[in-house]
Structure 1
Amino acid sequence: MCIALFALPFQAFAHNHHEEAPIPSQKPHIKTGEKSALQKLIDATEPGGTLVLEKRSYRGSISISKPITIKGVEGTRIASLKTALTITNTENVVIENVVLQAEDVGIVATDINKLTLKNIKIEQGTAGIQISNGTDITFDNIAISGQDGHFSTKGHAIAIFNSANFQATGCDISSVMDGFYIEHVDNISLTENRITDGRYAVHMMYSDNVTLEHNDVKANMTGFMIMVANHVSIMNNMVEKNNSLNSLGVYTYDVEKVDFSNNALNENTVAMSIENTRKMVIKNNSFSANGTVIQAKRSGTLSIQDNEFYGNILSVRTDNEGVTLHHNYYDDYTGKDYDGDGIGDTHYIATNSFGQWMVRKPVYQYFIESPSVVTLNMMDTEVIDSNSLVIIDDQPIVMKKTMNTNFSMNGWQFIGSIVVLLVMIIVRRKLI
């Protein structure tokens, strides 16, 4: 009875509270799948027209299936819980000056002709840009950054499949699985891009007519991975600090007709791994502070000429005859140039037993220049005639070309200074 009497006031209070509670205002019903404000603007734009966006955030996924130009301004953002932008079955689409935030993929395009993306930033969820069955695709100044974590948990920044005529310039990509993943694409040009902290900076397969020029590739597992390709030009790139376990600066497999020139490869575990590659010329490159510079497998037509090697553990090793060295500079060359023609009077042996051991066991580096290692290197020079896999440069350069250039410049400066000094002396004497 006491409990019942105690509970009565609370029941009355609850009953009165329920009766006095205001009736909530009725909110408008939003249908599932209703178009976003931006989608309505796109739909209202005539085919071939231009839509200029405001400095604001647009929310929701959008799709494009007609020719259109969309231009944002500084501060224009598109945010989506899924794919931010889908482009299908159309042509002449231009997207400029937009920041995309997507939980899934930033941009997906299929069956597209003449697509241009310029000044686009993607704050990546699963992946950045995916394109299939496209032609005449142009990327200019695309920035894509992945989330924290191991690259195995991430997607590709830019993936292109079954397409033709793709070019990307000035892209800045970091912390993704692959910077560029390209498969079955003809006519590719990647220039002035920067790719860091991923698995492969450029991962390319089954593609022809490739140009990689003036790119900066740093701190990835592998810089350029080119497989099953023809007519490849790799020039004026910086490939450096791809130096974790089993890292490669450049890897080619089943590639034919490769021009690799004027590149700088620094501080890589292996600067270049070349396998089953035909008609490849490596010329006018700089290799410094790498573990192994070039390792060649089943690539007997490889030509290595007019390069500079300094501070590397091992210059070249191969399992196949036919690899040639010609007219390169090596900082560990100990020969002399008695006739002063700039070419050593004795040949340079690129392969040595201790260098190959040191590549496999880095701890061996502490024994460099020890008496036993010096003796081993001397023994290597005595058995070159019986070992067809030892790589020899018959015309090693005695002085680096960069040193020659500096000396020449300093020489002209010296002559100019002498001339100026003589003029000053003559003028002073006349005044006196």
Structure 2
Amino acid sequence: MLSIQKKFIKVALALGFLFILFFPIYANAQEQSIQHQIRESQSGETVKLRKGEYKESIVIDKPIHLVGDENVTLIQKGSNPTITINSNNVKIENFNIKHLDTGSKSPAIFINGDNNYLKNIQIDTNSYGIQLDEANYNILSYLNISGDENELIKNRQHGIDLWKSHYNIIHDTTIDHVQDGIYIERSNEIKVYNNTVYQSRYGYHLMFTNNTILEENESYENISGMMIMGTDGTIVKHNILKYNQENVQSLGLLLFDTVNSTITENNIVNNRIGVFIEDASNNKLALNNVQGNYIGIQFKGAENNNIFNNSFVANVVQGQAKESSHNNTNQNYWGDHFGLDITGDKISNLTYKVDPFFLNITNEYPPFQLLFQSPGMVFLEQLIHTPVEQQLIDQSPLMENPLISSNNQSINQVPILLFCISLLIVSILIIYLGVKSNEKI
């Protein structure tokens, strides 16, 4: 009997040990469900995620702070958004999202709430990165959103998509291989700054927005850098739009049906078309560097725009105007203009005319592009004049580049001046010594 009791005690102890051993594993399994932790949390509480992979799609419906680290990965489960935010004052940061269901058109993160904050999130997606739907006063920062580089651009979705969402801020975010990097439609008072978009369709795409600010962003190797359409009061400042050449109609910057925009101090370089202004009016473009594009600036159906103090250098065709009128294009710097300043006011007394003859003839006969600046092409350009209404005219072109300070220009001219003086002195010495030699003979 005693031996039976001892055996029973041993079995009980073993079972107790196993219970104690495995109970924490059960608790950890509960903790590894993010949705469970959200349900158990209180409003305003911080939910810290342990490192690991979580295969689930979650819904946040209360104001909490969800935080992980670089070792936390949330993997989409099903066709719903990986994260849905249906609350205000939610903060999520520091983890990775893999939203790779090929049959899903849902975004990795869907936001329908106000005053939410997203930071330090890496998103790999076959669909949208982040969608805001009637969501206001949100901040999206320090994000990385990557689409499927093997997918055709037309089949991709946007990196960040805003619909009727106002007063949002997007900054310090990198987006690649999507359709449009940042797409904003019918949303007002949006600030977009310090972002980079590359290898996508359009870097930044505005549709029917008011008072949007695009500042210190970069867009490169896209079909087009910035597409600004149907907007009022847009500010575009200190952006870099470069190497957007993926299509015959690639653009650095498009202003279409846009009014009252201010475009200043941007670098628009090495694009198919630098700036295209179409059906747009009352916009100001100043102090922009438009360089190395096939076409520098092009107008179509544009009226009453003010283009001044810009630098147009090394563009194959500096500009063209079609069906456009009352645009002020005076006092710009043109790299190929040989000016004459009689009065010393740093403004040329010779008018500069941008004749798009080469553009017109190569549009009709593309192989003629090989003859750029050849003597025959120059002769034809002088012989066959483009209609005046297609010419872009600067009545008072600048003698100096406004983007280079006068001090720098003076400094740059000093070596040239010294070289010329040296040549003059050497020439005088040669002549003098030659005369002396002849006298001796």
Range into which the TM-score falls when normalised by the shorter chain? 0.7 to 0.9
2:257 alignment partner, one of 249, 254, 258: 254
CA contact (8 A) 1:36 1:59 kept: no
1:173 corresponds in structure 2 to: 175
Matched, 1:119 2:120: yes
Which amino acid counterpart does residue 121 of structure 2 have in structure 1? I
CA contact (8 A) 2:32 2:50 kept: no
CA contact (8 A) 1:248 1:269 kept: yes
Judged with a 3 Å threshold, the aligned counterparts in structure 2 of structure 1 residues 227 and 369 are, in CA distance, closer, same or farther, namely: closer
**Structure 1: 5+ residue stretches without partners:** 1-33, 414-432
Equivalent-residue separation in structure 2 for 1:256 and 1:296 (angstroms): 14
Equivalent-residue separation in structure 1 for 2:217 and 2:281 (angstroms): 24
2:300 corresponds in structure 1 to: 297
- For residues 111-157 of structure 1, what are the alpha-carbon distances to aligned partners after superposition, in whole Å with 9 as ceiling and x for unaligned? 30111110111011222111201011111111001112221221111
1:139 corresponds in structure 2 to: 140
1:186 alignment partner, one of 180, 185, 188: 188
- 1:16-165 maps to which residues of 2 (within 5 A)? 37-82=33-78, 83=80, 85-103=82-100, 104=104, 105-149=106-150, 150-165=152-167
Shift of 1:360: 6.0
Matched, 1:321 2:325: yes
CA contact (8 A) 2:59 2:86 kept: no
1:424 corresponds in structure 2 to: none
Equivalent-residue separation in structure 2 for 1:359 and 1:404 (angstroms): 39
Shift of 1:253: 1.6
Judged with a 3 Å threshold, the aligned counterparts in structure 2 of structure 1 residues 216 and 405 are, in CA distance, closer, same or farther, namely: farther
Judged with a 3 Å threshold, the aligned counterparts in structure 2 of structure 1 residues 353 and 316 are, in CA distance, closer, same or farther, namely: same
What is the aligned length? 377
List structure 1 runs of 4+ shifted beyond 4 angstroms: 359-362, 408-413
Judged with a 3 Å threshold, the aligned counterparts in structure 2 of structure 1 residues 404 and 54 are, in CA distance, closer, same or farther, namely: same
Shift of 1:412: 11
2:340 alignment partner, one of 313, 336, 344: 336
Shift of 1:175: 0.6
Which amino acid counterpart does residue 322 of structure 1 have in structure 2? H
Judged with a 3 Å threshold, the aligned counterparts in structure 2 of structure 1 residues 230 and 335 are, in CA distance, closer, same or farther, namely: same
Instruction: Indicate the SS of the match to 2:165.
Output: strand
Shift of 1:274: 1.4
Equivalent-residue separation in structure 1 for 2:203 and 2:389 (angstroms): 36
Equivalent-residue separation in structure 1 for 2:268 and 2:164 (angstroms): 31
Judged with a 3 Å threshold, the aligned counterparts in structure 2 of structure 1 residues 141 and 348 are, in CA distance, closer, same or farther, namely: same
Mean CA deviation greater in 45-54 or 332-341: 332-341
What is the TM-score when the length of structure 2 is the normalising length?
0.80
Shift of 1:356: 3.2
Instruction: Indicate the SS of the match to 1:324.
Output: coil
CA contact (8 A) 1:124 1:145 kept: yes
Shift of 1:367: 2.2
Equivalent-residue separation in structure 1 for 2:46 and 2:365 (angstroms): 61
Matched, 1:353 2:393: no
Equivalent-residue separation in structure 1 for 2:265 and 2:363 (angstroms): 25
Judged with a 3 Å threshold, the aligned counterparts in structure 2 of structure 1 residues 360 and 92 are, in CA distance, closer, same or farther, namely: farther
Shift of 1:339: 4.2
Matched, 1:281 2:284: yes
Equivalent-residue separation in structure 1 for 2:31 and 2:157 (angstroms): 28
Which amino acid counterpart does residue 242 of structure 1 have in structure 2? N
Say which structure is richer in strand.
Answer: 1
Percent identity over paired residues = 26
Instruction: Indicate the SS of the match to 2:65.
Output: strand
2:215 corresponds in structure 1 to: 213
Which amino acid counterpart does residue 92 of structure 2 have in structure 1? I
Judged with a 3 Å threshold, the aligned counterparts in structure 2 of structure 1 residues 369 and 303 are, in CA distance, closer, same or farther, namely: same
Equivalent-residue separation in structure 2 for 1:241 and 1:68 (angstroms): 42
Instruction: Indicate the SS of the match to 1:325.
Output: coil
2:436 corresponds in structure 1 to: none
CA contact (8 A) 1:123 1:145 kept: yes
